[in-house]
Structure 1
């Protein structure tokens, strides 16, 4: 599935174009985006004319994992990845496989915007019971494992064994017993609870990872150098949309059925992340320090050097 989606993405963006799709038309921005609550500001900006107000024409290309779009971003076949999980892209920066820049923050953790779910009749009754059990995450050694490990470590209990299963397949995998638990984000979290009557074992946005930045709008240094005004306009539009999302959760809930598979009824009850109005270097530093503590970064990294001003 990942290969097929990426192939479609590259075809749609033009396989043979070596330069950014912004090239001749500096007002056009191609954005790869996941069908998650993380991307809500992108769709609010589109539907409320915030991109148009900045003189931008934005094309959105759906993907199932931000990792899938990384090669396309490196080649300039997409300009921005929305809801890009920071762990993957900070690791790519450290390994010098991608000169990452953060245009705007996406979301921070909040209560029940992601949960560890188990079947309703599961013998797993507490976080301590997860030790050695199979837990599905979207990508191994990434934001879900990072945050769950931090929560379990603080509670002094053992860690599980992680299995990589894409968000759309988590529900079927849990139902078939291929995994003991799933670490699901919204909107998949609520859908799995409703479809399978799955039980919430643990709030994935709990202390010590509350209000932790987990995703953002990521581009490359090359793009920001070549199109500084376009990058600034895009950032302003996203931050304006994030302010709307922060003060009016109903605006987010109204958008979700448009680009995800959740119904309007499901959207009204699901847990939402926090939408920051501006990037916070201090909070991002918390993330990089946590990554270092768990071996996901080998050297200290000052995230303020990656923020586009």
Structure 2
């Protein structure tokens, strides 16, 4: 994959915010000033912000396999580079759902009162090599023991990537690196320019960076204490869930059906990826996929909230069952 293609997977923050605002305005058909409303075809419109990651495959499978249409929904997808970019639009009701929303950011927003969160459905859990710690092929960083104190790029600071990597290092009794926020599409160039010592990249960026730069895998970001940890899902607000309970429930049914398809048929996911990311069909055939959750399990989500509390990303214990869509 060329550096141009890698940059093309996402947009810079300001550009995405502007484009998202323009496209939301262009959607029209809202019944209450928000993102949801009846479309011209009589279906309920649901506006979804989504990232170009393997995490979001169930959303696109549900769209392309007609699962949303079967539920009477007209789902309109707005691409974003980071789920946090769509958080203000979700809070204002301009976006109804965020797909591939990393739980850490949204659980923190809920605790701070900036978002009244509801989890519509689990999305994915960590699987082997769905994200990796990468270093230049000639890097003096040879093992995880060399990583403490080094500069490591993550997509968002104090989030799931630093949380999981710190947990892996803690299990080995090692110190932590210094994290730098660099968007996924810019990680490859940053590694080549030696702006950071390592990057923690999720698929499909993981494979793209290795292909483009020759970077080597220092560590599997899905190993040890974070194996099968829930990391992202489909989220909305309490206001939307209460005002549009039928649409929210229909959306959940559709994405859960698509998630079951993704879990039992990885080939369907690999065929879908080139449609909404910049990976080629050949590249999609080999990238590490996440584990697609077939049910929303509060016990699994508690693993995440306990880990967040232990690392200071939540100030008090939280039972995620209280945030699930009813």
* TM-score, length of structure 1 as denominator length: 0.98
Number of the residue aligned with 2:51: 34
Q: Does 1:306 align with 2:323?
A: yes
By how many angstroms is 1:20 displaced? Answer: 2.0
1:58 aligns to what?
Answer: 75
Deviations 1:108-157 (A, max 9, x none): 00000000000011010000100110000000000000000000000111
Q: State which of 13, 18, 27 in structure 2 corresponds to 1:7.
A: 18
Match runs of 1:149-160 below 5 Å? 149-160=166-177
- Give the 5 Å matches for 1:42-121: 42-121=59-138
Once residues 146 and 10 of structure 1 are traced to their aligned partners in structure 2, the CA distance between those partners, rounded to angstroms, is 31
What is residue 247 of structure 1 aligned with on the other side?
264
- In 2, the alpha carbon distance for the partners of 1:158 and 1:296 equals 18
Distance, in Å, in 1 between the alignment partners of 2:23 and 2:94 is 9
Between the aligned partners of 2:92 and 2:18, the Cα distance in structure 1 is 14
- CA–CA separation in structure 1 for the residues paired with 2:127 and 2:60: 20
Q: Which residue of 1 aligns with 2:155?
A: 138
Give the unaligned 5+ runs of structure 1. none
Query: Secondary structure of 1:116's partner?
Result: strand
For residue 274 of structure 2, the aligned residue among 257, 264, 285 is 257
Preserved CA contact (<8 Å) 1:292 1:300: yes
Conserved? CA contact 1:19–1:75, under 8 Å: no
Normalized against structure 2, the TM-score is what?
0.93
Aligned residue in 1 for 2:34:
20
Distance in 2, Cα, partners of 1:227 & 1:20: 11
Q: Please say which of residues 21-30 and 60-69 is displaced more in the overlay.
A: 21-30
1:151-195 CA distance string (max 9 Å, x none): 000011111000000000000000111110000000000001111
In the aligned structure 2, how far is the partner of 1:23 from the partner of 1:192?
40
In the alignment, is residue 187 of structure 1 matched against residue 204 of structure 2? Answer: yes
Q: Which residue of 1 aligns with 2:7?
A: none
CA distance in 2, matches of 1:278, 1:7: 35
Tell me the distance in 2 between the aligned counterparts of 1:265 and 1:148.
Answer: 29
Secondary structure of 1:208 counterpart: helix
Q: In structure 2, list runs of 5 or more residues that go unmatched.
A: 1-11
Quick one: distance in 1 between partners of 2:204 and 2:184? 9
| Alignment deviations for residues 198-228 of structure 1 (CA, whole Å, 9 cap, x no partner) | 1000000001000000000010000000000
1:127 paired residue number: 144
- Taking the aligned partners of 2:245 and 2:119, their CA distance within structure 1 comes to 13
Superposed CA RMSD in Å reads 1.2
Conserved in 2, the CA contact under 8 Å of 1:284 and 1:303? yes
Q: 1:211-250 alignment to 2 at 5 Å?
A: 211-250=228-267
Q: CA deviation at 1:24?
A: 4.8
Q: Are 1:203 and 2:220 counterparts?
A: yes
